[in-house]
Amino acid sequence: MTLNPDRLLTLSNLNGVPGREDAVREYLRGELSSLVDETRVDAMGNLIAFKAGREPLGGAQRERVMLSAHMDEIGFLVRYIDDRGFLRVQALGGFDPRNLFARNVTVQTRSETLPGILTPGGRPIHISSAEDRSKVPELKAFFVDLGLEAEEVKRRVRVGDMVTLDQQARQMGQLIVGKAMDDRASVFMQLEVLRQLEGPPRHDVYAVFSTQEEVGLRGAVTAAYSVEPTIGIGLDVTLAVDTPGVEADEAVTRLGEGIGIKVYDSSMVSTRSLVDEFADLAEREGIRYQLEVLALGGTDGAAIQRSRAGVPTLTLSLPTRYIHSVTEAVHVDDLEAGIALLLAYLR
């Protein structure tokens, strides 16, 4: 399998914080039009694509398999405009403030996009004390400078406008690097699986491109209640801390060593029979995989698993370096392994 990274680069560059996933959704609707039997958008903004399975032998019932990868990215909303025209922001998702110093951002209003700079308040190095330089500011200290007079800012920007970090995605060796690989890389995998399915899958497939995952798995909750799946498969990224300064036992996964099959995170324990089934399938098909245990984190899989009376669920996890930064990095081989394993299961 040879992947064309252009769609992933495009997906990474699109802006879509929780509740503002419109650009991502519209791009996907265009891509999906010839790949599935129907698409719909629910009240939460989830895009739900349906592909009917083939008729089973002997009158058996088809499973209803729900896949879910989230469209949203971590970012900000404008929460306050001060008298000098600086914007204070509300974080949407988990940020490490160490990654936010002097970042280019885009503020999207109802009618236009405005370039800005996100930075914390305080003194630059030239006039700061040693104590000042040793502190890491809290998120509440950050503001956006639009380079405009205060009255113009107040005329053009309002509370609730979207603020996203700027970063053009690029290929770097065997890595695809950019913002929002969490979870646009999994969105890309899900899209490629639908593109590469030849003929009807084994079971009915509901491919959900969900909203508001970064603020509490919200879109996947309502989608799971609507779809009523009998099997759930979350698609998300996971830590690959295979870099200097971290002990080997803390790496979680490693880039280039295969797709992660989640055993545990702080939101779910994957259904063991599915973990075993996917691991056995990967070994039969010669697909590289890693069993993943993540101490803290959650995915759409948890929302599916706990819907209604409960759903057998696991998550396929894409190893990713530098998560929740603008240089999130995924490996081409891991993308290919994830697509191959999911195709093998659905076929």
pLDDT in tens, 164-194: 999 999 999 999 999 999 999 999 999 999 9
Provide the pairing of β-strand 289-293 with 259-265: parallel
When pLDDT is averaged across residues 135-141 and rounded to a whole number, the result is: 82
pLDDT of 318 strictly over 70? yes
Predicted confidence band of residue 97 (pLDDT cuts 50, 70, 90): confident
> Which pLDDT score is estimated for 122?
67
User: Peptide bond before 183: cis, by omega within 30 degrees of 0?
Assistant: yes
Residue among 21, 73, 213, 328 flagged as catalytic: 213
Q: Strand, coil or helix: what is 321?
A: strand
> Which pLDDT score is estimated for 3?
83
Neighbours of 300 (CB within 10 A): 33
> Which pLDDT score is estimated for 41?
98
The per-residue pLDDT of the chain, averaged, comes to: 94
Contact 229, 65 (CB under 8 A): yes
- 112 has catalytic annotation: no
When pLDDT is averaged across residues 144-158 and rounded to a whole number, the result is: 97
pLDDT of 126 strictly over 80? no
pLDDT of 1 strictly over 70? no
The CB-side HSE value for 171 (13 A sphere, CA atoms) comes to 11
Predicted confidence band of residue 123 (pLDDT cuts 50, 70, 90): low
Please report which residue ranges of the chain form alpha helices under DSSP H.
6-13, 22-32, 130-134, 150-156, 181-196, 218-227, 272-285, 300-305, 332-346
pLDDT of 325 strictly over 70? yes
Q: Which domains occur in the chain, in start order?
A: 6-73+179-346 (3.40.630.10), 75-165 (2.40.30.40)
Predicted confidence band of residue 128 (pLDDT cuts 50, 70, 90): low
When pLDDT is averaged across residues 193-207 and rounded to a whole number, the result is: 94
